[in-house]
Each structure stands twice: as structure tokens, then as C-alpha cells.
Amino acid sequence: MKYLLALAILFVVIPCFSQNATTAIIPEPVSIVQKQGVFTLQDNISISIPDNHNDAAKVANYLSHAIAASTGYKSSIKNNGNTGHIHFIIAATPDKELGDEGYNLVVSPETVTLTANTAAGLFYGVQTFLQLLPKEITSKSVIKDVTWMAPCVEIRDYPRFGWRGLMFDVSRHFFTKEEVKEFIDDMAKYKFNLLHMHLTDDQGWRIEIKSLPKLTSTGAWNVKKTGTFNTFSAPEPDEPRNYGGFYTHEDIKEIIQYAKDQFINILPEVDIPGHSLAAIASYPELSCTPRADKYKVNSGEPFMVWPPGGHFYGLVDNTLCPANEKVYEFLDKVFTEVAQLFPFEYIHMGGDETARNFWEKSAAIKTLMKKEKLKNLDEVQSYFVKRVEKIIESKGKKMIGWDEILQGGLAPNAAVMSWRGIKGGIEAAKQKHEVVMSPTTFAYLDYMQGDAATEPPVYATLRLSKAYEFEPVPEGVDPVYIKGGQANLWTEQVYNMRHLQYMLWPRAFAIAESVWSPKAKKNWNNFVARVEKQFERFDIAEIKYSPAIYDPIITVKKDEKNLPVVEMNTEASGLAIFYSFDNSFPDKFYPKYTQPVSVPKDAATMKVITYRDGKPIGRMMAIPVSQLKKKAGVK
Ligand code: ACM
């Protein structure tokens, strides 16, 4: 009888639950309790906010616009209303655990109640609420015939780290103000709060400095090339230098305000003393080897050499000269304007990958070394960084740099962004300096995300599953020094916004979850299922993403006859892999992969495709057998 009763309850309850769409929120909240029933959005709902709370009003406006865009529904915002369908509350006594960015979200059949200590918390609660609504809510135009239901839930949520960043390289390729705003819109949805703008590099200086006009009249422009960056032919002297662009002060202010409205700070980076060819092309006297006619903003032709396992060096001197006082006067001007424009407490001075082969030969550097008792070029570099820190601090800002600033001794108060793995971060934290983790191992979004056979070529690979392993706090390190983490999107090989999106997503989901969600809640299988739900939303929003999780991961070994044996699996689950070696395109009627496959002796190409539920889902991959042999180490 008891069993019958239990069964009866099950049958009553299950339809209720199945009516509730399961949640698939990224980043995973701290806690979700699923309740019975649904809240249904209607036309003319009200959003109530605390009296005269400007920032809460902005968040309500954001929600109202997000709802209107896809549903066509209007909503009214009520000051000090207690009766809204959607009710924003700023806690009278702060809930300590929620902190500056956390929220409580209660969705019941009649009302949605969102409580936070701050407007930022309300904003993140809104992001979660939007993810509870049907995928069509992401549409940029009105969709009819959708019942706009959100499952009833109680969510309590707050971030693990206060620094949740994405770095956007707008130097290698220029992205317009509107494109930067699009980037901001997308990152905000996944609760990132820090946009690191890489504003200067060898390929372009992107920020107007009024006191140094050549930085943008000369430094922002190169020659348009198409193909594979770093393999381009050198531009002819008469080729027009009209590719690029820069942000005026007004543009920068507009971007900062736009980001602020979505609770995102902007960290400006001026990358020095290396990566400075755009500055040198504008003001050649800043180099240790001033040859005015020689310096041009790089257009993607090779100009640095990276010998395998050896030290890199420059073919042209793309560095600012630490032995030249004019350089510090120049930097004082630059950082004066940067500090005035950007309200964020840090300025990033780069400091990475400084080729020092020209310093080695410079008489001025030798004199500096003698005068300052600098024993080697690491110490010369450190001397430079310490002087830069003084300049940045004189503008009321703190300095952060890539982990090379550890070389030759860290500047007294510098924060370190650890990119060459996590070791620089560990070292800096041990020296009691603040650290942001952004290691190539887990967080480099310019790397390929699948097999080189399908991905646009880049020199390294970072799959989604690896990005999901990102853990900002290394073992044995005092977490107090780890401010958080970020992913970096360099754009040497990224020429447009669609490809930018492709490189960002889904890996930025993995990073978002690594910096927001409790470590104990991270779970790959659960994550990848939620990623697939986000893909459906992106399809509607028309945001591009990489489908690499559906493509086979191909590993090749060699058998006793020295022939390659192919092993395949996938990051997404429930896929069937079909293959051919006869040059034709495999489909679901072809051999299905079940165990390692020996490559037929005379085969030229392996072709592979994945299916799910009888439909193709992966991309057709074609890999020459010569490459399989190379992977296996078969001669
Ligand atoms: C870097 O990737 N060079 C910081």
C-alpha cells in the first residue's frame, strides 16, 4: 500500500517536474532548489525597485529591454512598489555571505523576488532569471507563440572570485567601439566583471593620447593583409597604410560607461617595453636603435624569431629603451591620460616577451648598467618596470603586468598576471604580491579548440575540457593573494567578430564557471550538458560558437608493424563516430568506430564524422594519412 501511495505521488509529481524545464545555468549557481510550478511572463508586468535607487532602476531597465526584445512584452518599472510581478529588493541589513555581487532569486508562480546587497547582485540575479526563461528569450527580434515560463526555483548565489576577466586584444586587429560593446554584452551574461583591453602592440596603438598625436596618426595603421598572420609578405613602401583604427577619448569614455552599466570594469593595457613597434614607428627616438626610416607598424610579416627551445629575438627593435630618459617622459604622458580616462584601480603595463637582442648591443644600455649597477638584462628590464610602477603610482593607480615582470626582481607593489602557466603566479603570491591567473594551459582562447584538421591554424590547442579544469588557486598558495582569473583572447588570427565569437564560446563558459562557481560544484558531464543548452540559445541569438566538442579527438599510436592505429573519442556524450579510408564521405551507413582502428596500408586520407540520434552533428574531418603517421611517430 505504501508503495502504491509512493507510486501515485511519483506520477502526480513527475508531470509537474517535467513541465518545469530543468535549469541549465552557466556559471553554475552556489545552490538551486527546484520547486513545483512555473512563473509565466505576460505583457504589462511590473518590476518594482527600491525607492530612488538609480542603479537598481538601471538593472530593471536592462531586464525590461531584454524581455521586450524577444517577447514584445512591455513592462513598467515601479518605484518603491511592493507589488511587482518582479520584485527587486536591496537588503536592509547586508547579507554578508552574498557580498558585493551575490543574490537570492526566488521564482514562484506569482512573483519573482530578487534580493541583493547591491545593484550588481541584482544584475547577476537578472542574468540567472533570463537563463531560466525559454531559449527564445535570447532572440534579437520578437518571437510569437512562446509560453514564457521560468521554472519555480530558489537560488542563492555569489561569486568565488572578485576578478572574473576576459582579455580582448584590439591591437592585432582593430575592433570598433560597437564591436567592443557587443563583446561586453555577451560577457556580462555569464557574470564576467572585468574586461582587459590590450590596447597597444606591434600591430597597432588603439588609444588616442592627445599629447602624443603620432601614436594614432601613425601607430594605429598598417597594411591590410589576408591569410595566415605572421606569414605575410612585407608591405611594399607605397602600399596604403589604412587598415586599423583607434578609440578617441570620447569613445573610451563611452565604452567605460557602457561596461559600467553592466557592472564590468575595464583594465587598460599599454604593453611595454616589448610589443612596442607601433609606438616606435610613431616616435623612433624611443628605441635604443633609432632608425626612423626602418620602423613601420607591423602588418603580420615575420619580425620576431622563436627558435624551438631557445631564446626569441627581434629582427627589428620593437622595444622602448630603458636607458633613454625620453621614454619615461613619454610614458608619463601616456599614463597621465590613461589614468584620467579609466576609473579602474589598476593599469596593466604588459612587460611580456621583451626581445633584448638590441639592448645587448646598445652603448646606452651598457652605460645605464654601470650607473645603476645592473648585473644583467633581467635587471635592466626590472629597472624599467620599477620606474614604470613609480609613474603609474604617481597617477594614483596600481600596476599589474605579465609574469615576466618577476625577472630581475618584482617592483615593490606590482600585481602579477600569470600567463606562462601558473608558476609565475605561485612565485608572486609567495612574495605576497597580488595575482591574477590566466595561464596558457587553461585560459588561452586564441588556441585551437579541436584537431588541427578542422580548426583555423594556431600553434597550440586548448580544448573545452581542458579549459574547464582551470583552477585559479594552486595548491600550497595562500588564496588571499589570488584575486581571480581570466581568459585571454589574442587576435593575431582573428579578423572579424564572427570568428571572435567562435574562439570565445564555449571556452569562455568554462572560464566563467571556474571563476564564479564553488570549486566543489564543478562537474564536467553536467557542465557539457549545460553548454549544449547554451548552444541552443546562441543559435537563436545568432552568436557563433565552436562545435569542436562534437568532433572526434583523434590520437594515433603505432602497431607492431609500424602502422598507425587510430583511437577516437569525443568531448560531448552520446555520439557515434563513422569513418572512411577510401576518400569518400562517411555517413551513418559507414563503419562505426567501436575500437582502435588500424589504418589500411595504402590509404591516403581518413575521413570522420559524428552522429547523434541518427543525425550528423560533428564536422566532416579529413586527415591525410601522412599526418596520422606523423602523430604516431611512424616514419
Ligand atoms: C602573452 O601571452 N604574451 C602575455
Instruction: Indicate if ligand 1 lies below 6 Å from the C-beta of 444.
Output: no
- Whether 4 is in a domain gets the answer no
Instruction: Indicate if ligand 1 lies below 6 Å from the C-beta of 492.
Output: no
Q: From 93, 126, 157, give the residue that closes a domain.
A: 157
Measured CA distances, 134 to 49, 297, 514 (Å): 24, 48, 25
* Residues 610/612/615/619 CA torsion (nearest 10 deg): -30
CATH at residue 88: 3.30.379.10
Q: What pLDDT is attached to residue 481?
A: 98
Q: How far apart are the first and last CA of the chain?
A: 71
How far apart CA 141 and CA 235 sit, in angstroms, is 44
Cβ neighbours of residue 11 closer than 8 Å, sequence gap 6 or more: none
H or E, element range at 400: strand 398-402
The answer to whether residues 372 and 342 belong to one domain is yes
pTM: 0.95
Instruction: Indicate if ligand 1 lies below 6 Å from the C-beta of 352.
Output: yes
- Whether 98 is in a domain gets the answer yes
Counting ligand 1 atoms within 8 A of each CB, the residue from 348, 419, 462 with the most, and so the one to mutate, is 419
Q: Which of 185, 353, 378, 379 is catalytic?
A: 353
The answer to whether residues 260 and 396 belong to one domain is yes
353 Cα nearest atom in ligand 1? 3
Q: What pLDDT is attached to residue 293?
A: 61
The answer to whether residues 150 and 98 belong to one domain is yes
Helix residue ranges, H only, 431-523: 440-443, 464-467, 497-504, 507-516
Under 8 Å between Cβ of 590 and 557:
no
Instruction: Indicate if ligand 1 lies below 6 Å from the C-beta of 402.
Output: yes
Q: From 112, 128, 157, give the residue that closes a domain.
A: 157
Tens digits of residue pLDDT in 375-408 = 999 999 999 999 999 999 999 999 999 999 999 9
Backbone angles phi, psi at 520, to 5 degrees: -65, -20
Which residues of the chain are modeled with pLDDT < 70? 1-21, 81, 292-293
Residue 302: asked if its preceding bond is cis (omega within 30°), the reply is no
353 a catalytic residue = yes
Q: From 157, 181, 204, give the residue that closes a domain.
A: 157
Measuring CA to CA, which residue among 98, 95, 97, 63 is closest to residue 77?
63
Q: Which three cell numbers stand for residue 504?
A: 570565445
The answer to whether residues 229 and 148 belong to one domain is no
Tens digits of residue pLDDT in 36-80 = 999 999 999 999 999 889 999 999 999 999 999 999 999 999 997
Instruction: Indicate if ligand 1 lies below 6 Å from the C-beta of 353.
Output: yes
Q: What is the residue whose three cell numbers read 567605460?
A: 256
User: Domain count of the chain?
Assistant: 3
The answer to whether residues 314 and 222 belong to one domain is yes
Q: Which of 85, 87, 198, 275 is catalytic?
A: 275
The answer to whether residues 328 and 363 belong to one domain is yes
Which residues span the domain enclosing 225?
A: 163-517
The answer to whether residues 40 and 141 belong to one domain is yes
Q: Strands 163-169 and 482-489, how do they pair?
A: parallel
- Whether 541 is in a domain gets the answer no
Tens digits of residue pLDDT in 337-360 = 999 999 999 999 999 999 999 999
How far apart CA 607 and CA 453 sit, in angstroms, is 10
Measuring CA to CA, which residue among 166, 147, 181 is closest to residue 269?
166
- Whether 6 is in a domain gets the answer no
Q: For ligand 1, atom 2, name the residue with the nearest CA.
A: 419
Q: Which of 201, 202, 269, 434 is catalytic?
A: 201
Instruction: Indicate if ligand 1 lies below 6 Å from the C-beta of 303.
Output: no
Measuring CA to CA, which residue among 162, 154, 178, 343 is closest to residue 266?
343
Instruction: Indicate if ligand 1 lies below 6 Å from the C-beta of 185.
Output: no
Q: How far is the CA of 175 from the centre of ligand 1 (A)?
A: 19
The answer to whether residues 175 and 107 belong to one domain is no
The answer to whether residues 410 and 557 belong to one domain is no
The answer to whether residues 334 and 371 belong to one domain is yes
CB-neighbour burial class of residue 146 (10 A; exposed 0-12, middle 13-18, buried 19+): middle
How far apart CA 610 and CA 593 sit, in angstroms, is 10
